[in-house]
Structure 1
Amino acid sequence: MAHGGGSAPVPRRARRADAARNAELLLSAAKDLFGEHGPEVALDEVARRAGLGNATLYRHFPTRGDLLVAVYADEVAELCRGAAALTDRHPPGDALFAWLDDFVVHVATKRALALAVTEGPDERRTELFERWHGSMRSTAEVLLSGARAAGAVRDDLAVGDLLALVSGAAMTAADGEHARRLLGIMRHGFEPPARPSV
């Protein structure tokens, strides 16, 4: 079939690359705007910040719920990916607490986004949150195991207890900095008791 104007069709690979780039631009813009104004920000503003048209936004994210899910999933993935870099740069105990520092700020500052994501159908909400919580729990378990093996935390500290305490501090904190302060106080309770000198 001839193409009008003599212009060649865009190769499929280039279209896929453009689509992936547009999705990244939209996610980045949404993350920034949600952080600045909350998850209720106008979707037109997301498209404008990304430098794209509304049609492109709705092609990638047909509903606000789809965009919220994508943004929160990206936040969780970024949090979990960060653990590998921390274990490369720090001893096991410090890596655990550096990640918990990121985790406590995540919970304290992404609460409105997480609540907005839960406005979808119950089955979808449950499946998504189980997946995200599973990712964070697995990441914490790996870091905690390393810290426990290095003698940096108490032997009886379980990952469920650890995340419950840290999440509780994050959800009651005034902001991210207050959450970090509470984590610093809790750290002394997580560390093993000092051995008596002989």
Structure 2
Amino acid sequence: MTAQPNPLRADARRNRERILEAAVRAFSERGADVPIDTIAKAAGVGSATLYRHFPTREALVEAAYRNELARVCDSAAELLAAYPPDRALRLWMDRFIDYLAAKHGMADALRAAAASGADPFSETLDRLGTAIGTLLGAGAEAGLLRADVDAFDVGLSLAGVALVTSAPDQRERAGRLLDLLLDGLRHGTDR
């Protein structure tokens, strides 16, 4: 039997979240070589607190990436609870594009982490596929989205939209392309 890790105290959990948010911002804006002290300062914690949570730069990069992945994937259920499935999917698509922009900004830091032996991407396809599949399934069940669409195909389509609209001044175009994709996912339904 393995021991369960002790849950973090509320203040430690808040510190960890602030560190991860500051890390994503710093790696995205300043690249892989941003000083750890800069991230700690931006998070409002000391370097010792940062290192207590993340003993290496690679551990911080991996955790920051996985945290962003979890946010976008977990938001699928939250959106479905608040909106009709087709609207939830469209809102989730926006979050996915934002997630890819953050990932793109962190590319150098992620490459450095991977080169050191970390595998920040090990869960990515499964988590994204599950989130997209949940949204598509709810939409098909409600008769709002096609039932014959593969989640992986939608994920690739979203990645394509992100690729061609990666510049910040292309966000409006990304929205229009996402609208077109959603229209295609509705094609053949009564909607």
| Normalised-by-shorter TM-score class | 0.7 to 0.9
The alpha-carbon distance between structure 1 residues 98 and 18, as it changes in their structure 2 partners (threshold 3 A), is closer
Name the residue aligned to 1:147. 139
Secondary structure in 2 matching 1:138:
helix
Question: Residue 54 of structure 2: which of 45, 61, 78 is its match?
Answer: 61
Whichever of the two has the greater Rg, that structure is: 1
- Match of residue 87, structure 1, among 34, 56, 80: 80
Matches within 5 A, 1:2-151: 18-114=11-107, 116-119=109-112, 120-121=114-115, 124-125=118-119, 128-151=120-143
Higher mean Cα deviation, 75-84 or 48-57? 48-57
| Residues 1:180 and 2:172 are matched in the alignment | no
Superimposed CA distance per residue, residues 44-97 of structure 1 (whole angstroms, 9 cap, x where no aligned partner): 111122233223322322222111111111111111221122111111111122
Identity of counterpart residues, as a percentage?
36
Number of residue equivalences: 180
SS of the equivalent of 1:62 reads coil
For residue 161 of structure 2, the aligned residue among 145, 164, 169 is 169
How far does residue 121 in structure 1 lie from its aligned partner after superposition?
4.2
The 8 Å contact of residues 104 and 180 in structure 1, kept in 2 or not, is answered as no
Letter of the 2:182 counterpart: R
What root-mean-square deviation, in Å, do the aligned CA atoms of Structure 1 and Structure 2 show?
Answer: 2.6
- Mark the CA change 1:154 to 1:57 in structure 2 (over 3 Å): closer, same or farther: same
Asked if 2 retains the 8 angstrom alpha-carbon contact of 1:47 and 1:57, the reply is yes
TM-score (normalizing by structure 1) = 0.77
Q: What TM-score, normalized to structure 2?
A: 0.79
